[in-house]
């Protein structure tokens, strides 16, 4: 069975064609600058990279070009579109409308339109991607795989905000979380790697990238996560503030003469480690600036690691113990200093890092970086959200 995984952004579209027999990636790539001048497709297959520069006025044109490449004599990996058994679409937010991976129908897409405002930067793009695929591949089975699904198991006392309950009921305002496919994948991989039944494990998964979220996974299900109604909450991120007293944010908005929408843009795009350091949202730049003596870069890195540590501790308490900490995504997989700082001082709780193993370069494999006498295993696990989307889609069929 071959599954095409689609991750559509407002002006981009990433894809992978995965053979589920051996979970091998047959081809992958992405379209950039959809709907704006300078369209481009980068396609990787058969050990080569193919670049096509061509205007892509909309997502339908983009997906048409992708399919043309997939069946192309030189760049292609299949002989016809019939070889694609189904398409799995990544969707950021499901609200309370969908709790699990869902087959695309007209009715489902009508509901998707209704809940689009929950993730205005992401969900409308996913709808464009689905509609484009339905136009180009009519009749093909398609699934929506939600970033929020893995968090649907959170108990009410974990997902509720302490607001007027009637407002929760009316507007469905609550914690939904994000990066669910990644948290699901790495917690599953951790259990496999340790040769343990996931039902017996208490795992904290740290997905640390440009956007970061931390989850408590007890017995294989998520019981809490750091992102909230939107991906603005939790630890400080590349450009997002993370948790903040709303009154402090409103105070800044008022002082700077920002309306609420400008204020939200400020919290999403101008804060986080970029705002603190004034240097960059990229952790490689921050590390270099800190090395050169920039104290605000040092502060940004310290705040990030401290916040991660607080979530690890909080989730240890929420789960009544801890067996495994997993680091994943761009920062989690590549930045030993962040990992070391995030778990330093937790030795009394059985968390002990092996400094040497922690320095190991990311080679795309799973690494155990805990000391031999650490009760809690500390693992670095490369995430693979596309594979989860493909697996979920295949399982639905």
Residues that bind ligand AMP (CB under 6 A): 209-210, 238, 282-284, 329-331, 334-335
Taking the complex as a whole, how short is the minimal distance between the CB of residue 209 and ligand AMP, in angstroms?
3
Class of residue 68 by CB neighbours under 10 A (exposed 0-12, middle 13-18, buried 19+): middle
Taking the complex as a whole, how short is the minimal distance between the CB of residue 283 and ligand AMP, in angstroms?
4
The nearer residue to ligand AMP, 334 or 374, going by C-beta atoms, is: 334
The nearer residue to ligand AMP, 88 or 238, going by C-beta atoms, is: 238
Contact 92, 122 (CB under 8 A): yes
DSSP-derived letter for residue 282 is -
The nearer residue to ligand AMP, 3 or 329, going by C-beta atoms, is: 329
Q: E strands, the chain, where?
A: 2-8, 13-19, 24-32, 40-45, 48-53, 86-91, 102-103, 141-146, 202-208, 212-218, 221-225, 324-328, 367-368, 377-380
Annotated active-site residue in 19, 147, 259, 363: 147
Taking the complex as a whole, how short is the minimal distance between the CB of residue 366 and ligand AMP, in angstroms?
17
Which CA distances in Å does 120 have to 22, 36, 61, 149?
36, 19, 23, 18
Sheet containing 13-19: give its strands across.
Answer: 48-53, 40-45, 24-32, 13-19, 2-8, 86-91, 141-146, 102-103
**Closest by Cα among 397, 392, 386, 394 to 17:** 386
d(CA 341, CA 59): 43
The nearer residue to ligand AMP, 25 or 81, going by C-beta atoms, is: 25
Active site residue 147: yes
Which CA distances in Å does 12 have to 25, 41, 170, 286?
20, 10, 34, 27
Contact 168, 187 (CB under 8 A): no
The nearer residue to ligand AMP, 237 or 353, going by C-beta atoms, is: 237
- Output the six-digit token pair for 169: 């009921």
d(CA 243, CA 303): 12
Query: 301: which residues sit within 8 A by CB, 6+ positions away?
Result: 273, 283, 286, 287, 290, 337, 338, 341
The nearer residue to ligand AMP, 131 or 335, going by C-beta atoms, is: 335
- Output the six-digit token pair for 208: 């640390």
The nearer residue to ligand AMP, 199 or 284, going by C-beta atoms, is: 284
* Continuous H helices in 256-335: 260-269, 272-277, 283-291, 295-319, 329-334
d(CA 49, CA 20): 23
> Hey, which residues does 42 pair with through a beta bridge?
30, 51
- Catalytic positions, written as ranges: 147
């Amino acid at each position: 069975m071959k599954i095409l995984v689609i991750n559509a952004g407002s002006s981009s579209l990433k894809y992978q064609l995965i053979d589920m027999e051996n979970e091998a990636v047959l081809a992958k790539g992405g379209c950039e600058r959809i709907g704006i001048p300078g369209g481009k497709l980068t396609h990787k297959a058969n050990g080569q990279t193919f670049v096509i520069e061509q205007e892509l006025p909309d997502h339908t044109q983009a997906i048409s070009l992708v399919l043309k490449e997939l069946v192309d004599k030189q760049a292609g990996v299949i002989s016809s579109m019939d070889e694609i058994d189904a398409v799995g679409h990544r969707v950021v937010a499901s609200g309370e409308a969908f709790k699990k991976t869902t087959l695309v129908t007209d009715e489902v897409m009508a509901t998707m339109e209704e809940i689009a405002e929950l993730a205005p930067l992401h969900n409308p793009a996913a709808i464009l991607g689905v509609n484009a695929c339905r136009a180009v591949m009519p009749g093909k089975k398609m699934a929506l795989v939600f970033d929020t699904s893995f968090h649907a198991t959170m108990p009410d006392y974990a997902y509720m905000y302490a607001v007027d309950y009637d407002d929760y009921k009316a507007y469905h305002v609550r914690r939904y979380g994000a990066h669910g496919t990644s948290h699901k994948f790495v917690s599953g991989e951790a259990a496999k790697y340790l040769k343990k039944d996931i039902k017996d494990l208490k795992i904290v998964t740290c997905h640390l990238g440009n956007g970061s979220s931390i989850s408590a996974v007890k017995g294989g299900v998520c019981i809490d996560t750091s992102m909230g109604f939107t991906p603005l909450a939790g630890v400080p991120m590349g450009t997002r503030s993370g948790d903040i007293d709303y009154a402090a944010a409103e105070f800044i908005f008022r002082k700077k003469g920002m309306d609420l929408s400008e204020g939200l843009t400020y919290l999403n795009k101008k804060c986080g480690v970029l705002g603190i350091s004034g240097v960059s949202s990229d952790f490689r730049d921050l590390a270099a600036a800190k090395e050169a003596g920039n104290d605000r870069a040092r502060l940004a890195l310290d705040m990030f690691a401290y916040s991660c540590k607080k979530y690890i501790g909080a989730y240890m308490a929420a789960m009544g113990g801890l067996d495994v900490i997993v680091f994943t995504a761009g920062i989690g997989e590549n930045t030993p200093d962040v990992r070391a700082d995030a778990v330093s001082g937790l030795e009394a709780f059985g968390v002990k890092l092996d400094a040497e193993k922690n320095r190991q370069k990311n080679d795309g494999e799973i690494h155990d970086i805990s000391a031999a006498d650490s009760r809690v295993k500390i693992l670095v696990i490369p995430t693979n959200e596309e594979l989860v989307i493909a697996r979920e889609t295949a399982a639905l069929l």
